[in-house]
């Protein structure tokens, strides 16, 4: 993907599907007519989707277009926020140790991080019933004090079973 956006005279397609901010979709018109409309409005003709048939162009200020694209890219990079923290438990982890792990996971969730809980399965334990293993993970999840949602359901991993959780969005 190239980072170069064609504007005005750099657009090569003979016909374009043109969108105007004020009037909406203007339909498929020739390149010259689109350039004339843009010049009439005192704005730029920007090729938004060069791979479409015919290519899509928009009549708007190029500076504003760049600002909106940069803002969209920054928001996409932010993602869900925070980093992914890991916790490891075993099948036979005791109740007190599970409470400590749950407290740690709740703290991570409160900070806005995602938490990856690994259920470590040594040797033959990898071949135990999947429902039994998921119950072991649920024991820890029931002890959490923060509201959470499952971002990535329980999956087999090289060392056992993994689940990724994140804080549930509480919009008021």
Does the domain spanning 84-167 belong to CATH 3.30.110.10? Answer: yes
Q: Where exactly does CATH 3.30.110.10 map onto the chain?
A: 84-167
Per-residue pLDDT tens over the stretch 20-50: 887 788 889 999 999 999 999 899 999 998 8
pLDDT > 90? residue 104:
yes
Inter-axis angle of helices 130-142 and 95-110, to 10 degrees?
70
- pLDDT tier at 151, thresholds 50, 70, 90: confident
Q: Where exactly does CATH 3.10.20.80 map onto the chain?
A: 8-76
Does the domain spanning 8-76 belong to CATH 3.40.50.10330? Answer: no
Assess contact for 31 and 46: CB atoms under 8 A.
Answer: no
């Amino acid at each position: 993907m190239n980072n170069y956006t064609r504007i005005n005279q750099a657009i090569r397609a003979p016909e374009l599907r043109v969108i105007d901010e004020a009037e909406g979709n203007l339909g498929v018109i020739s390149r010259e007519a689109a350039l004339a409309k843009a010049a009439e409005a005192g704005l730029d003709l920007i090729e938004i989707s060069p791979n479409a048939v015919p290519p899509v162009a928009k009549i708007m200020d190029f500076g504003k277009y760049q600002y909106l694209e940069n803002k969209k890219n920054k928001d996409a990079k932010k993602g869900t926020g925070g980093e992914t923290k890991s916790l490891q438990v075993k099948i036979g982890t005791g109740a007190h140790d599970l409470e400590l792990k749950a407290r740690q996971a709740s703290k991570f969730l409160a900070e806005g991080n995602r938490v990856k809980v690994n259920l470590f399965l040594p040797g033959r334990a990898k071949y135990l019933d999947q429902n039994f293993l998921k119950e072991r993970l649920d024991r820890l999840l029931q002890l959490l004090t923060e509201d959470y949602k499952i971002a990535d359901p329980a999956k087999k991993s090289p060392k056992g079973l993994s689940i990724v959780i994140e804080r549930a969005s509480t919009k008021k």
